[in-house]
Amino acid sequence: MKISVIGTGYVGLVTGTCLAETGNDVLCIDNNDNKVEQMQQGIVPIYEPHLDVLFERNIRAQRLRFSTSLEEGVKHGDIIFMALPTPENEDGSADLSYVLGVAEAIGKIIKEYKVIVDKSTVPVGTAQKVRETILKETEVDFDVVSNPEFLREGFAVDDFLKPERIVIGSDSEGAIKLMKKLYKPFVRSGNPILVMDERSAELTKYAANAFLATKITFMNEIANFCEKVGADVDHVRVGVGTDSRIGKRFLFPGIGYGGSCFPKDVKALYKSGKDHDYKFNILNAVIKINDQQRKILIPRILTYFENDLKEKTFGVWGLSFKPETDDIREAPSLYMIEDLLDRGAKLKVFDPEAMTNVKKRYGSKLIYASKMYDAVTDVDALIICTEWSIFRTPDFNKLKRIMNQPVIFDGRNLYDINDMNNEGFFYSSIGRKEIH
- Write out the residues near ligand NAD by the rule CB under 6 A: 6-12, 29-32, 35, 83-86, 98, 101-102, 120-121, 149, 151, 153, 260-261
**Residue number with CB closer to ligand NAD (120 or 133):** 120
Residue 112 CB neighbour total at 10 angstroms: 10
**Residue number with CB closer to ligand NAD (98 or 373):** 98
**Residue number with CB closer to ligand NAD (86 or 220):** 86
Instruction: Give CA–CA dist 387/172, Å, rounded.
Output: 44
Dihedral angle, C-alpha 124, 129, 132, 138, nearest 10 °:
-120
| Shortest Å, Cβ 8 to ligand NAD | 5
Cα 50 → chain centroid: 17
Q: Classify each residue of 362-375 as buried b or exposed e, where b means 16 or more C-beta atoms within 10 Å of its C-beta.
A: beeebbbbeebbeb
Asked whether the beta carbons of 340 and 305 are under 8 A apart, the reply is no
Closest residue to bound ligand NAD by CB: 9
Secondary structure (DSSP) of 304-345: HTTT--TT-EEEEE--SSSTT----TT-HHHHHHHHHHHTT-
| Shortest Å, Cβ 29 to ligand NAD | 5
| Shortest Å, Cβ 157 to ligand NAD | 12
| Shortest Å, Cβ 119 to ligand NAD | 6
| Shortest Å, Cβ 102 to ligand NAD | 5
Instruction: Give CA–CA dist 218/192, Å, rounded.
Output: 29
**Residue number with CB closer to ligand NAD (193 or 402):** 193
**Residue number with CB closer to ligand NAD (199 or 343):** 199
Which one is catalytic: 18, 28, 226, 261?
261
Give SS3 for 178: helix
**Residue number with CB closer to ligand NAD (357 or 428):** 357
| Shortest Å, Cβ 343 to ligand NAD | 31
| Shortest Å, Cβ 73 to ligand NAD | 8
**Residue number with CB closer to ligand NAD (71 or 311):** 71
| Shortest Å, Cβ 45 to ligand NAD | 8
Instruction: Give CA–CA dist 371/352, Å, rounded.
Output: 8
**Residue number with CB closer to ligand NAD (50 or 433):** 50
Secondary structure (DSSP) of 43-100: --SS--TTHHHHHHHHHHTT-EEEES-HHHHHHH-SEEEE-----B-TTS-B--HHHH
Nearest alpha-carbon partner for 304 in 224, 380, 375, 398: 380
Instruction: Give CA–CA dist 100/206, Å, rounded.
Output: 19
Q: Is the dihedral of CA 271, 274, 276, 281 positive or negative?
A: positive
Does the active-site annotation cover 18?
A: no
Q: How many angstroms separate the Cα of 112 from the Cα of each of 29, 50, 83, 172, 272?
A: 19, 36, 21, 17, 34
Instruction: Give CA–CA dist 51/59, Å, rounded.
Output: 12
Residues labelled as active-site residues = 261
